[in-house]
Amino acid sequence: MNDVGPRSRLSRRQVLRYGLVAGVAVYVAPLGSRAYAALLDERLLTAAAWNGRSDSLKYRIDATSKVTGGKVFARDIRARDMPHWPQQQAHALILRTTLADRLYAGFDLSVLGPDLKPDRVVTAADLARDELAFPAFYGEDMLLPPGKTPAYLGQAVALLIFHDFARFRFAKEKLQFNDAVMRYGAVTGPLQRDPWGASRFVRVGGRTGYDEDVFSCTKQAPVSPVAYDRHEPVWPKPAPDGDLGAQGMVHAQATDEELSRPPADWLVMTRDYATQSGDTAALEPDNANGWYDSARQEMHLVVPTQSPQEVAEGIATLMARSRIGLKRLFLHPCFTVGYGSKDHSPMPYYGLLAAFYGDGRPVRLANDRFDQFQAGLKRHQFSMRYTIGVDRRTGLLQSFQAGVVANGGGRANCSVALTMVGATSAASIYYFPKTDVAATAFASRALDCGSARGYGALETLAATELMADELAAALGLDSIEFRRRNVLKTGMKNAQGAVPDGTQRAETVLEKAAAHALWTGRAAAKQEYEAAHPGKYYGVGFGCIQRRFGDGAQASFAKVELAPDGRITLSHTGTEIGTGTSSGQAVACARWLGRPADVLEMAVTDWPELPVETSGNPHAMAQDEQDRLAKNPRWVPAFASSSSASNSAYYFTHATQAAARVVFLYGLLPAAVAVWGREVTPEAARWRDGALTVEGLEPLSLARLASHAHARGLVTGATVHVFNRWQWAEADFEIGGAMVRLPVDALSLRQGDANGYRVLDRRAVFFPPTKNNNTMVGYNTCVGTLVEIAVDATSGKVAGLNHHTILECGNMLVPELVSGQMQGCLASGIGLALHEEMPLYEDGPGNGTWNFNRYHLPRGSDVAVWKQTADILPPLSDSEPPKGMAEVVCIPIIAGIVNGIAHAIGHRFRALPVTPERILKVLG
């Protein structure tokens, strides 16, 4: 039953990639991949339907399977769908605490009676005996033992496994919402812990934004706390001749003094803002299905994840450290959706537990929506105090002081990194001569939080945009004019003292917004609307932000191969999370190969074609450490990034196009030259209607060129690894006897019909300097949204009448995907502005009672579905790369709505969401 046997067309060893992690052989076969096709003979990705004449994709490459209800999600999979698994599916559920201020004392399952008893109960004692523990990133107590106070509401205490579905289902019904199940001891109060982390970003600029800074994170360093006192950061004492932190505090102190006793012509405003705890509410709840073959010591797991690399390594390492024997791990990552909640999520590890304790049966662990609210990674709640000084005479911003505090819940997850991103993004599109932003991610009994869409910047940027409007009003300035006066221009330093890459286009976005009819006509429209609709207040608001894409340590692999008949196969580490990454990457091949990839494999985590090594933390590495490690020609700063941080359009595409370019330059072009009988430069050759052309020469089809390349032993495949720390790593390679510098840090080639790849060890490498880590924001996308709303005075409801978004995102790989992402993100922003919230603590989802009846998600009627419009700025040139643009669009609409409410009713809200109840309170 376990042996694939004659049903497979290829042996597993031939088809599945494998790597060795902590002594465990890891095989990864994403469902729908060729590797998995050897087992299942199904294809979930079709060849790209390409309109060669218009160079456009007809529809997503994963479209047909999705629109026909195909089994594309991990949730769709049962044991019967895995032909090499035992066929009887077992099911598991997790028991969770609903209180976190008293000792956990065990649980009572007597409510189940004899008929619904679980077949296996797994507790912390089992994990301790078997030495199973979370990877360090996830902290302690995978299952909480009795005698401890839970770290957070909803903490897992036990896994219950049922061999059949019916008993599982009815047992779950009895246990869910039942306060009698959990037992508690003495009240201890919630755990008191120091923050997960804190940092402070101080900058004093030079004479202008273009001149050298006096002090900044990029030039010197961020300021770290020296200690925590009563769980609050203690910053260094200011000392001009102290270390960098102490020097930074000298400037922070001066900034504070200036704001406290400002020059006479300054307006100084202080405001407090708060954003909500939220749920990403991905419609696919977290799940896993796994089988542990104890005889062969093999673990098989089907998981949805945005970070398959992390899951593969984490599970292998976890098992290697345990007392369990594990020789091989077979991981099947699937199509999924998460908006950040499936990135570095603990769920795959619980799936592992369920499989391991399944007594030889496959076990499915799948949250329902109540479970998902109780256990899925949450959006951090933020509180911000902003103090801004502005010159009344000029309307120019002078100084920005901020305290940013994020509630990181009961497990750290990415809280520190996220809070720092939020802090360093807060200055948004504006130039400030001086900034001092102190950021703290604190620990609490709230549910653990993850990298929810926006990654901290959503919260801080929304607040900045609310304050921009209020400052403009206090100065008597049009709020877009105020923004335009203060916009960060190309070449100016940001709040970290770094110059963001590329042309800054916020000014263009502002100009377009200022000229739009929604803005220019808003006063007259307000009069007219309110006259025609008694009892409703009309308003127009605006928000404009820029946000980084990527996280400062982006890495990926890509392999492009040409078959002799011209079929293109692309393999990539990127994961499809609904955004159309797979379609976009397939299309990305067209730039150098004339058409999209025919065969696509995403979420590939093992690369025997290009073995590299990695070590250290690329976000926190010292320069001398990087220099030392870089001497190893196989060393790279990071292996592969998860699908997150809006990274596919720019970063994944770079890898894809780097590999495709190598195949073009060293395979297709020489093949063409051989046919044409004369040299041509790469710049002179163009793809037109599927053929490579040069003025005056015979057009050559890809199939013909590929056939020649194979016959002549030219390059027919290239595997690259790329790394970006706000600039691309480059390296020199010898190819065909000549040295060439490529924007990759590792490379291997296949020549002709060779079976394998030959690694070309780099002769020199140029990694981005580690001080770029202090930059925090390297690449930006800018977006502005005008919003037209009406407030109903009787109900307090806000109707979204219309909205118009202006976006700059470089060249688009697939315009329909960009437009779709924009529309979806706008809806997310509307939800956060007006609808979505849940209490942080005992009344919140940690008690297991939350669902969509209490957490309102926007519907079609909430998003101006027929009227909304958008203007995507043309790229600056044909060669401008595509920019990450998804989560950025969630943000300005939030401010646009809340600013629009201010225009409508004259009240400025500073906390989200702005619900009807809160509006009615103000309207009195």
Partner 1 sequence: MSLPTRKVTVTINGKRHGPLDVPEGMMMIDVLHEMLGLTGSRLGCGIGICHACVVIWDRDDKASEEVQTCITGAEFFDGKRIRTIEGIAATNDKGEVTLSTVQPAFLDKFSFQCAYCTPGFVNAATVLLERLKRTPVAKADVEATVAAALEAHICRCTGYVRYYQAVRDVILVTPGLTRDGA
The residues, any chain, with a CB within 8 Å of residue 705's CB and separated by 6 or more, are 566, 667, 668, 671, 672, 675, 692
557: left (phi over 0), alpha (psi -120 to 50) or beta: beta
Residue 578 within binding range of partner 1, rule CB under 8 A: yes
By CB atoms closer than 10 A (0-12, 13-18, 19+), residue 567 is middle
Q: Is 109 in the site for partner 1 (CB under 8 A)?
A: no
871 makes contact with partner 1 (CB under 8 A): no
Strand partners, 204: 215, 434
d(CA 715, CA 584): 24
Judge residue 625's burial from the number of C-beta atoms within 10 Å of its C-beta, 0-12 exposed, 13-18 middle, 19 or more buried: middle
**Which token pair is 122?**
């797994």
Site pattern 757..796 for partner 1 (x: CB under 8 A): ----------------------------------------
In angstroms, give the least distance from the CB of 717 to partner 1: 31
Binding segment toward partner 1, per CB under 8 A, in 282-290, 456-464, 599-607, 909-917: 282-290
Q: Which of 175, 555, 786, 826 binds partner 1 (CB under 8 A)?
A: 826
Cβ-based nearer residue to partner 1, 60 or 708: 60
Indicate whether 336 belongs to the interface with partner 1 (CB under 8 A): yes
289 vs 309, which CB is nearer to partner 1? 289
Distance CA 156, CA 135 (A): 16
Asked if 827 interacts with partner 1 (CB under 8 A), we say yes
Which range in 37-45, 631-639, 782-790, 859-867 contacts partner 1 by CB under 8 A? 859-867
Residues 327 and 298: beta-carbon distance below 8 Å: yes
Tell me whether residue 508 or residue 819 sits nearer to partner 1 (CB atom). 819
- Nearer of residues 796 and 824 to partner 1, judged by Cβ: 824
Task: Choose which of 86, 209, 403, 820 interacts with partner 1 (CB under 8 A).
Answer: 820
- Could you say whether residue 166 binds partner 1 (CB under 8 A)? yes
Residue 663 in tokens: 């195949």
Q: How far is the CB of 72 from partner 1 (least distance, A)?
A: 7
CB atoms within 10 A of CB 628: 12
User: How far is Cα 40 from Cα 30, in angstroms, rounded to an integer?
Assistant: 11
The least CB distance from residue 204 to partner 1, in Å, is 42
- Write the DSSP assignment of 669-694 as a string of letters: HHHHHHHHTS---GGG-EEETTEEE-
On whether the CB atoms of residues 829 and 803 are closer than 8 A, the answer is no
Other Cβ atoms less than 10 A from the Cβ of 691: the count is 17
- Pick one of 52, 70, 106, 752: the residue that binds partner 1 (CB under 8 A): 70
Q: Which stretch binds partner 1 (CB under 8 A): 3-11, 331-339, 436-444, 482-490?
A: 331-339
Is the Cβ of residue 273 or residue 652 nearer to partner 1 in the bound state?
652
Q: Among the candidate windows 258-266, 485-493, 776-784, 809-817, which touches partner 1 by CB under 8 A?
A: 809-817
Q: Which residues contact 69 (CB under 8 A, 6 or more apart)?
A: none
Residue 59 CB, nearest approach to partner 1 (Å): 4
Q: Which two tokens stand for residue 573?
A: 């580490």
Work out which of 615, 764, 851, 876 binds partner 1, going by CB under 8 A: 851
Stretch of residues binding partner 1 (CB under 8 A), selected from 130-138, 275-283, 555-563, 873-881: 275-283
- Angstrom distances, CA of residue 386 to CA of 257, 546, 922: 15, 18, 23
- Per CB under 8 A, does 556 bind partner 1? no
| Distance in angstroms (rounded) separating the CA atoms of residues 669 and 246 | 58
**Among residues 852, 876, 906, 921, the one that binds partner 1 under rule CB under 8 A:** 852
User: What is the smallest separation between the CB atom of 866 and partner 1, expressed in angstroms?
Assistant: 5
**Cα 48 to Cα 585: distance, rounded to the nearest angstrom:** 11
User: Please, which residue, 231 or 859, has the CB nearer to partner 1?
Assistant: 859
Q: Does 506 bind partner 1 (CB under 8 A)?
A: no
Kindly indicate which of the ranges 98-106, 205-213, 381-389, 818-826 contains the residues binding partner 1, using the contact rule CB under 8 A.
Answer: 818-826
Q: Binding partner 1 by CB under 8 A: which of 13, 51, 54, 114?
A: 114
Q: How far is the CB of 859 from partner 1 (least distance, A)?
A: 6
> What is the closest distance, in whole angstroms, from the C-beta atom of residue 551 to partner 1 in the complex?
22
Residues numbered 170-189 forming contacts with partner 1, rule: CB under 8 A: 170
Contact 420, 199 (CB under 8 A): yes
Residue selected from 6, 69, 696, 874 as contacting partner 1 according to rule CB under 8 A: 69
Residue 167 engages partner 1 in binding (rule: CB under 8 A) = yes
Considering the complex, state which of residue 239 and residue 865 has its C-beta at the smaller distance from partner 1.
865
Q: What is the CA radius of gyration of the chain?
A: 28
Does residue 78 interact with partner 1 by CB under 8 A? yes
Residue 111 near partner 1 by CB under 8 A: no
The closest alpha carbon to 567, from 19, 48, 40, belongs to: 48
Rounded to whole angstroms, the Cα distance separating 405 from 380 reads 10
Residues 884 and 820: beta-carbon distance below 8 Å: no
What's the min distance (Å) between Cβ of 188 and partner 1?
34
- To the nearest whole angstrom, how small is the minimum distance from the Cβ of residue 577 to partner 1? 7
Contact 865, 497 (CB under 8 A): no
Restricted to residues 48-67, the positions that interact with partner 1 (CB under 8 A) are: 58-60, 62-64, 66-67
Binding-site size for partner 1 (CB under 8 A) equals 68
335 binds partner 1 (CB under 8 A): yes
Single out the segment in contact with partner 1 by CB under 8 A; choices: 577-585, 599-607, 611-619, 688-696.
Answer: 577-585
Candidates 75-83, 215-223, 266-274, 555-563; binding stretch for partner 1 (CB under 8 A): 75-83
* Residue 640 binding partner 1, by CB under 8 A: no
Q: Does 83 bind partner 1 (CB under 8 A)?
A: no
CB of 750 closer than 8 Å to CB of 522: no
State in angstroms the smallest separation of the CB of 600 from partner 1: 17
Nearest Cα neighbor of 645 from 521, 541, 554, 752 is 554
DSSP assignment string, 447-497? PPB---TTTTHHHHHHHHHHHHHHHHHHHT--HHHHHHHTBPPTT---TTS
Segment 367 to 406, residues that bind partner 1, using CB under 8 A: 368-370
Taking CB under 8 A as the rule, does residue 579 contact partner 1? yes
Place of tokens 């911003």: 397
- Residue 281 touches partner 1, criterion: CB under 8 A: yes
CA angle at residue 544 from 541 to 548, to 5 degrees? 150
Peptide bond connecting 608 to the previous residue in cis, omega within 30 degrees of 0: no
Are 392 and 265 spatial neighbours (Cβ–Cβ below 8 Å)?
yes
Q: How far is the CB of 366 from partner 1 (least distance, A)?
A: 8
Nearest-angstrom CA–CA distance, 303 and 300: 10
Q: By CB under 8 A, name the one of 200, 225, 247, 284 that touches partner 1.
A: 284
Interface positions with partner 1 (CB under 8 A)? 58-60, 62-64, 66-73, 75-76, 78, 80-81, 89, 114-115, 165-167, 169-170, 280-285, 335-337, 339, 368-370, 577-580, 814, 816-817, 819-828, 851-853, 857, 859-861, 863, 865-866, 868
